[in-house]
Amino acid sequence: MSNIEEINPTKPAILEQAKPSELPRRPLVENERSFHWITEKICGIVENKTPLWWWICFCVTGFIASFTGIGLAYLLITGVGVWGLRGPVMWGWAIVNFVFWIGIGHAGTLISAILCLLKQEWRTSINRAAEAMTIFAVMCAGIFPLFHVGRIWFAWWLFPLPNANGIWPNFRSPLEWDVFAVSTYATVSVLFWYMGMIPDLATLRDRATQKWRQIFYGLLAVGWRGSNRHWSNYEMAYLLLAGLSTPLVLSVHTIVSFDFAVAHLPGWHTTILPPYFVAGAIFSGFGMVLTLVLPLRAIYKLHDLITQYHIDCICKITLATGSMVGYAYMIEFFIAWYGANPYEGFAFINRAFGPYAWAYWIMISCNVISPQLFWFKKVRENPAFVFIVAIFVNIGMWFERFVIVVTSLANEFMPANWDYFTPTIVDIFTFIGTFGFFSLLFLLFLRFLPLMAFAEIKAVTPQANPHNNHH
Amino acid sequence: MAGIPYGQVALFDTAADIYHAAEKVRDAGYKRWDVYSPFPIHGMDEAMGLKRSKVTFFCLTGGVSGFLLGMLMVWFMNDFDYPLIVGAKPFFSPIYSFPIIYEMTILLAAFGAFFGMFLTNFLPQHYHPAMNYSNFNQVTDDKFIIIIESSDNLYDEIKTKSLLEEIGGKEITALEE
């Protein structure tokens, strides 16, 4: 609406400028919380006495995590035969689990890095927890390639270090590219996560009353004092790390997809695999972000910081990437027919109607159908529905990797070699244990480290803007 | 502890207040001073008259080193020292080695940015006279302060104090070393 000063008295019908009306933006922190409230809310979680539910979850997840420990120990002592791998399926659950966990990690880096470059300020409530999720997911993922080599005491041969045989790694192999990609990804994620935490650790240090906390947070905060000269360098480093992590999100899962794409197997040897895997990774990762963030929000009453707007944005990204994955399924199928390669065509008919059809249809319903529910506002606004869809996404994405790996191997070029892959009890429990390990690490993170980047949250509130005249 | 204080501290309550105050301190010609805030204030670098951060230099150096190191490593290991025969393909090619080189570039660039931040900020620095300020623990919470050091050429106990009062600073105190 124009105001009285803008109307030209001689030509009242003509305005000097036509400005669009200002639409109010949804607040990122609801109920106009003060900086001090935000500090108290997040630091309170770290500083208060450990709640009983935390101890119960810690014991349960610790018990589940022991399955992985026992499974791996049994594997090392007895041999790779305790897994279900046997001809023709020489890659089974280990690689499926590896790709599953690495994919989950990518959402954390997308939230931290890509949304930072895109100036999406809503990322500030979830980026710390999402990055922690990435680091713990990469740790779970790394277990599988490490142990699947059998003689893990030689795993250092994967790195370009001098050894007694005088031989170096084969840099042509995507498996070697994986070593570099995943190591780089783990390292850069840890650096970015830690650097982002320094100002918040300084706040915890300054509020600490017990000696061990003062020393612990004091050491980690490296003397941060909030100096603007420091913030200037810090912001530049943050932006640079975000800019470096962005190509990592895209390249790491691309390199993981190369494990399959460079092989000449039907169903694997397609150029759609890199973008398809990256979209799938982000999709599965956002499913895990929702699985973590919704309970956290409910337990710690974080509704003012992780608002419905945040949940909406996460759901929309999940919908977008889920649609990309659905599109990729259709295109793969189309190209298999259009390319007129009989083996490729067979591979896809076999996925849908062969011995693993049950896995294929679980995958389709979980990945293609369930995220489409997020078109509906009523679904997005109901945390229980969103949580259920997120669980389906997690399940569906595991099955996607299973379908890709196992169907192309089990029903390969020579029908005489066909066999039905069954996981052993060791396969199953080792995998279930990784969920326990992941959750255990996440619980420790919640207990000792600031679960949200509250310095960043403060910076995106309206009262942090020096040009804002309202406060 | 008698003697020259480290500097004068002034407290501010809002980001807008300290932003405008910082502009006035910059315009007054002070060079050895700083603003302390719980989060980076948008536009504060210009308000203080700070130059662009030097972290980019470290990041670029890291990235270029990573690129060259990656290429050298792959060439040396698969071509020079132990030429690896793979299907009669060339021993070294920038194409097959690209993923490795790409990851090395990013890794060393990330180290450059990370350690560049620590180096340009002279961190870790577990003690600084600013921490002697009685309300220092509010600086990492919700308050903002300006400290003008006594080692600045323009520092004068009375004039600096009155400037800080003029620009809206509260609880102006002398800071011990």
Q: Which of chain A's residues have a Cβ under 8 Å away from the Cβ of B34?
A: 227-229
Residue A471 lies inside a defined structural domain of this protein: no
Q: Which two tokens stand for residue A122?
A: 């809503």
How confident is the model at residue A26, as a pLDDT?
86
Q: How far is A239 from chain B (nearest CA, A)?
A: 9
- Is 80 exceeded by the pLDDT of residue A121? yes
Q: CB neighbours (10 Å) of residue A87? A: 10
- Which of B:150-169 have CB within 8 Å of A? none
Q: How many A/B residue pairs have CB atoms within 8 Å?
A: 218
How confident is the model at residue A3, as a pLDDT?
58
Q: Which domain holds residue A94?
A: 85-156+170-421
- Is 70 exceeded by the pLDDT of residue A469? no
**For residue B34, what is the enclosing H or E element?**
strand B33-36
How confident is the model at residue A244, as a pLDDT?
96
Q: Which of chain B's residues have a Cβ under 8 Å away from the Cβ of A240?
A: 55-56, 59, 109, 113
Chain-chain contact of B35 with A228 (C-beta, under 8 angstroms): yes
Mean pLDDT of A175-195: 97
Distance CA B98, CA B116 (A): 26
Q: How far is A273 from chain B (nearest CA, A)?
A: 16
Q: Which residues contact A60 (CB under 8 A, 6 or more apart)?
A: A436
- Residue in this structure with the two tokens 């046997």, named with its chain if needed: A86
Distance CA A238, CA A223 (A): 18
Q: How far is B20 from chain A (nearest CA, A)?
A: 8
- Candidates B23, B121, B175: best to mutate against A (most CBs of A within 10 A) is B121
Q: Which of chain A's residues have a Cβ under 8 Å away from the Cβ of B35?
A: 227-228
Spatial CA neighbour of A302 closest among A450, A169, A184:
A450
Instruction: Count CA within 13 A, CB hemisphere, residue A383.
Output: 17
| CATH classification at residue A132 | 1.20.1630.10
Which residue of B55, B126, B137 is in closest CB contact with A223?
A: B126
- Is 90 exceeded by the pLDDT of residue A87? no
Chain-chain contact of A233 with B121 (C-beta, under 8 angstroms): yes
B7 touches chain A (CB under 8 A): no
Spatial CA neighbour of A158 closest among A138, A142, A180, A136:
A180
Residue A343 lies inside a defined structural domain of this protein: yes
Number of separate domains in chain A: 1
Residue A140 lies inside a defined structural domain of this protein: yes
Distance CA A349, CA A68 (A): 35
* B120-166 pLDDT per residue, tens: 999 999 999 999 999 999 999 999 999 999 999 999 889 999 999 99
Q: Which residues contact B65 (CB under 8 A, 6 or more apart)?
A: B108
What are the two backbone dihedrals, phi and then psi, of residue A7, each rounded to the nearest 5 degrees? Answer: -80, 125
How confident is the model at residue A327, as a pLDDT?
97
Residue A55 lies inside a defined structural domain of this protein: no
How confident is the model at residue A5, as a pLDDT?
57
Q: What mean pLDDT, rounded, does chain A reach?
A: 94
Spatial CA neighbour of A233 closest among A203, A199, A206, A204:
A199
- Candidates A43, A163, A188, A225: best to mutate against B (most CBs of B within 10 A) is A225
Spatial CA neighbour of B39 closest among B142, B116, B168:
B142
Residue A366 lies inside a defined structural domain of this protein: yes
- Residue in this structure with the two tokens 């979680």, named with its chain if needed: A45
* B100-115 pLDDT per residue, tens: 999 999 999 999 999 9
- Is 90 exceeded by the pLDDT of residue A12? no
- Candidates A124, A207, A228: best to mutate against B (most CBs of B within 10 A) is A228
How confident is the model at residue B110, as a pLDDT?
98
- Which of B:112-131 have CB within 8 Å of A? 113-114, 116-118, 120-121, 123-128, 130-131
> Strand B7-12's sheet: what is its strand order?
B33-36, B144-149, B7-12, B170-175
Distance CA A305, CA A463 (A): 15
How confident is the model at residue A470, as a pLDDT?
47
* B22-69 pLDDT per residue, tens: 999 999 999 999 999 999 999 999 999 999 999 999 999 999 999 999
Sign of CA dihedral A170, A90, A361, A431: negative
**For residue B173, what is the enclosing H or E element?**
strand B170-175
Sign of CA dihedral A412, A416, A421, A426: negative
Q: How far is B36 from chain A (nearest CA, A)?
A: 4
- Which of B:45-104 have CB within 8 Å of A? 45, 47-48, 50, 52-56, 59, 73-74, 77-78, 81-82, 84, 86, 89, 96-97, 99-100, 102-104
Q: Which residues contact A438 (CB under 8 A, 6 or more apart)?
A: A101, A136, A137, A139, A140
Chain-chain contact of B40 with A459 (C-beta, under 8 angstroms): yes
* A223-233 pLDDT per residue, tens: 999 999 999 99
* Domain boundaries, given as residue ranges, for chain B: 55-120
* A233-278 pLDDT per residue, tens: 999 999 999 999 999 999 999 999 999 999 999 999 999 999 999 9
Interface predicted TM-score (ipTM): 0.96
Tell me which DSSP letter residue A23 carries. Answer: P
What are the two backbone dihedrals, phi and then psi, of residue B173, each rounded to the nearest 5 degrees? Answer: -130, 160
Chain-chain contact of B77 with A230 (C-beta, under 8 angstroms): no
Whether the predicted model's global pTM rises above the 0.90 cut: yes
Q: Which of chain A's residues have a Cβ under 8 Å away from the Cβ of B50?
A: 228-229, 232
Which residue of B73, B116, B126 is in closest CB contact with A160?
A: B73
Nearest chain A alpha carbon to B121 = A230
Residue A445 lies inside a defined structural domain of this protein: no
Residue A74 lies inside a defined structural domain of this protein: no
How confident is the model at residue B4, as a pLDDT?
86
Which residue of B38, B56, B86 is in closest CB contact with A455?
A: B38
- Candidates A236, A456, A465, A468: best to mutate against B (most CBs of B within 10 A) is A236
Name beta bridge partners: B145. B11, B36
